[in-house]
Amino acid sequence: MKAHTKHMSINERIYKIDNLLNERRSITFQELLDRLEVSPATLKRDIAHMRDRLNAPVLFDKELGGYRFGEQGPGTAYELPGLWFSEGEIHALLTMQHLLNNLDSGGLLGPHIQPLQSRLTAILGTANDDADQVKKRIKVENMGARHLHLEQFQAVGSALLNRKRLIIEYHARGTNEISTREVSPQRLMHYRGNWYLDAWCHAKNAMRNFSVDMIQKAEITEKLADDVAEDVLNELLATGYGIFSGKNVQWATLHFTPERARWVADERWHSKQKSKVLKDGTYELKVPYSDHRELIMDILKYGADIKVVEPESLRKMVAETLKTAMGNYLT
C-alpha cells in the first residue's frame, strides 16, 4: 500500500526526495512521481527549489537515466536543517518575528532576527510574499510605548545576561532629578508597551525599578552582579498591583456595573486577583496593591462603570484625583 503523500507540504516532499537520492545511486522521474504522488509540474518545481534555494547538487544522469546527487560546487553548501518546519509552522514563526519587531521598539532584537525571516521565507519557497502578507494582515500598535536609546538598552541587556554590574545615569521623572547609580540588574520586564529594569541599587541597598527609556547612560563594569533570590524578587516586585510594587500590600475591592462586567471579567489585572459575580450582576474584583498611582489610573478609565468599595483610603484618593481633574478642566 502506498503512503498517502498527496497532501505533503513542500518541505516534507523535499525531505522525501533527499532521502531517496541518498538511498539510491539514481532514481527516475517516474519513480519520484510514484513515491511522492504529485504532478510532474510539482516535482519539477520541487527539484528546482532544491537546486536554486537550498544549493542541492541535484542533476539528471543520462547514462543512469535518473536523478542523483553530484559533487558539491566550491563556495556552496547543501544540508537540510536538523529541525524542519511545516508550512503552517513557518507562517507562525513569521508572525512571531513580525510581533517581535513591533514589540522591539528599541531595536535590540531586530538586526538579529531579520536573517531568520529571510531563511524562513526561502524555506517556504516564495519570495517575500508570505512575510509581506503577515505584515499586511497582522497589525500591532504599541500605543503609549516610549522611545528607547538602543545603546543603553543593549548595555542593560548585556549586563543582565552576563551578570555584570552597571553604572547608570538615570533621570527620574517624578523628581526630575538625574542621579548616578551602581546597580546589579536582576530582570527586564516589558509592561504595557514599555521596558523596565528591576535592579539592586547599591547606593540605596535595596531593590529599585528603573524605566529603561530614562537611562541616559549605561556602562558595564567588570564587577559581578549581586543576585537576588527569585522568591525575594517576587515578594518585592510581583506582590502589589502593576509596576509599582512593594512590601506594604493592601487589597482593593472594586465593583463594576453588569454592562462593564462583560469586558472586565476577561481581563487579568493581577496574578493573584480574586473575582466573582454578585447576585445583581455586579462584577467584584479584588486586587493587591502597594502603590496607588497606577491602580488609580486604571480605575479612572472606567468612569461611572466602577466603584471603589474599599479601602477607604483608596476611595478618598480617587475622589481627590477626580476633584482636582474637574477643577483643572473647568479652569
Find the CATH number of the domain harbouring 49: 1.10.10.10
Please give the pLDDT value at position 153.
84
Separation of CA 256 from chain center: 31
Q: Does the pLDDT value for residue 59 go beyond 90?
A: yes
Q: Which domain holds residue 93?
A: 87-137
For residue 4, tell me if it sits in a domain: no
Mean pLDDT of the chain: 81
Highest mean pLDDT (candidates 28-32, 103-107, 188-192) = 28-32
Q: In Å, what is the CA distance from 142 to each residue of 103, 191, 211? A: 7, 11, 16
Please give the pLDDT value at position 5.
45
Q: Does the pLDDT value for residue 127 go beyond 50?
A: no
Domain boundary among 196, 228, 260: 228
Residues 121 and 159 in one domain: no
Exposed, middle or buried by CB within 10 Å (0-12, 13-18, 19+), for 21?
buried
| pLDDT tens digits along 12-41 | 788 889 889 988 899 999 999 999 999 999
Q: In Å, what is the CA distance from 235 to each residue of 161, 191, 241? A: 22, 18, 12
Look at 109-123, 201-215, 301-315 and tell me which has the smallest mean pLDDT.
109-123
For residue 316, tell me if it sits in a domain: yes
Choice between 250 and 116, residue whose per-residue pLDDT is larger: 250
* Partners of 190 in beta bridges: 195
Residues 157 and 221 in one domain: yes
For residue 295, tell me if it sits in a domain: yes
For residue 235, tell me if it sits in a domain: no
CATH number, domain at 289? 3.30.70
Domain boundary among 79, 104, 137: 137
Residues 326 and 254 in one domain: yes
For residue 22, tell me if it sits in a domain: yes
Q: Does the pLDDT value for residue 69 go beyond 70?
A: yes
For residue 80, tell me if it sits in a domain: no
Domain boundary among 168, 195, 228: 228
Please give the pLDDT value at position 90.
64
Please give the pLDDT value at position 272.
85
CATH number, domain at 189? 2.30.30
Number of structural domains the chain divides into = 4
Q: Does the pLDDT value for residue 114 go beyond 80?
A: no
For residue 26, tell me if it sits in a domain: yes
Residues 113 and 162 in one domain: no
Look at 22-36, 60-74, 87-101, 176-190 and tell me which has the smallest mean pLDDT.
87-101
Cα angle for residues 323, 325, 330 (degrees, 5° grid):
95
